[in-house]
Amino acid sequence: MKTFRTIFMMLLPVLMVLSLSAFQTAEEGLPMIQNPYADPADEDSGLIQRNPAAVSESEDSVSVIQGSDNGQVVDLNPVTGMPISNPDLLRLPPVFVPLARYPSAFRPSSGHSQAQWVFEMYVNNEESRPILMFYGEQPTVPVSRISSAIFGLEELRKQYGGIIIAGGTSKSVLDSDIKSLELWYGESGDQLYPVLPVERYQRIVEKWDALSTPADPNNLRYSFDVTPPEGGREARSLFVRYASTNEILWRYDDAEGRYLRMQNSVEDPQSLVADVDASTGEQIGAENLIILMATHDWVPDQKPEYGLFTVNLNYVASNPALIFRDGKLYHVTWTTKSEQFERESARMRPIRFLDAEGNNFQLKPGKTWVHIVMPGNPYYEVEAELGSEITTGSGYWKMPYISFKPGSTEEVMKEVEEIRQLEIRLNEAYFQQESEGTK
């Protein structure tokens, strides 16, 4: 027995070296992004541990681990490209939390300023519902005004391999084969739109962590670069009009380098005020704004008059999207089609954003807010932030939301005077550009 132990101890260093070598070889194939906080001079000094194959211009340049300017290893959140405080959180499942924000009695809510991504989806009756996604960082403030799960949310959950924490949810959604759903009715067990304390959030995630496959950060990675891509059109603001009492203005702030959110209310539809997180007083902002165009369908086995529709987000070959970052607008495509990765790993990946050459689009390190709309939803430049007159080249963008209803898009457009005149005005703007040689 002692002889075996002696031989094993002699071989242990060799085994460790071989294991490390194999790990490094496997890791060399994983592209990484550049740490936006590292001093380039430190790369020459050897303080930065950099993958030699990683360059910020690479179509796959994304990161899990990257060096920092003080020589300490820093983990970057794969969905934000930002350093994280506790790398162990990367193994926990992403968490989706829908919030009630309409009418304005539910505002200000809290927790959404700390979400890494937010997906805003329309749910009828002039209401749009933000769905918070937490991954790599947990909220340090209560998440308030938790709402019900909706159709389409399950497709997002599948992509990220996450869990859902929602309030009272309709039977039709519960019967739609939704998975990994935790219903939360507050500490009393009977609250509508309850508050989720930080400690309770952590306990729920710990419970589902024990029941779930650990998250794979490499599977959730996005491409990031602090330098804006070339091209793009001026985009000083984005005005999203869901309804006259549900209007959102995103205004680019040069000092902060991100878009800040304002919103009107039922009580005062003429005024847009800063949209803040109730727990921190921080105005909601995002480094990346995305208009994601996805097809919608009526929910099977539901009467159309109920207005229940779902969004098709999975196994999509290609659809258009708009990405706003650094005061610029970029036209891209998005996909969730099954490729070699999915076939070999038997796992899904989140939405990928591609530029005109088919390379991964470089997001800005930071937070991302996604508005989901139908393909063909109009968007155009206007003369001022809240204007209506098409003014090509102004940098003030507007998107009047088209609801998903029975019939064609053309039928819906007849309901709104401004949109009804849109096609002819867009044609006039196009021909004016052409005549001026700026097409």
Tens-digit pLDDT profile for residues 255-310 = 999 999 999 987 888 899 999 999 999 999 999 999 999 999 888 766 555 557 88
Answer with the residue of higher pLDDT: 418 or 26.
418
Mean pLDDT confidence for 178-203: 94
Mean pLDDT confidence for 316-340: 96
pLDDT at 46: 29
5 membership: H or E segment, kind and range? helix 2-28
Confidence band, pLDDT 50/70/90 cuts, at residue 428: low
Mean pLDDT confidence for 215-243: 95
Answer with the residue of higher pLDDT: 248 or 341.
248
**pTM assigned to the model:** 0.80
Q: CB-based contacts of 220: which residues, under 8 Å, 6+ apart?
A: 78, 79, 94, 135, 160, 349, 350
d(CA 80, CA 396): 26
AA letter at 123: V
- Average pLDDT of the chain, as a whole number: 80
Q: Which of 90, 80, 87, 86 is nearest to 37 (CA)?
A: 80
d(CA 250, CA 263): 9
Please give the structure tokens belonging to residue 9. Answer: 């101890």
What three-state secondary structure class fits 390?
strand
CA angle 396, 401, 405 (to 5 degrees): 165
The least confident of 39-53, 180-194, 393-407 is 39-53
Give the strand pairing for 163-166 and 237-243. unpaired
What three-state secondary structure class fits 237?
strand
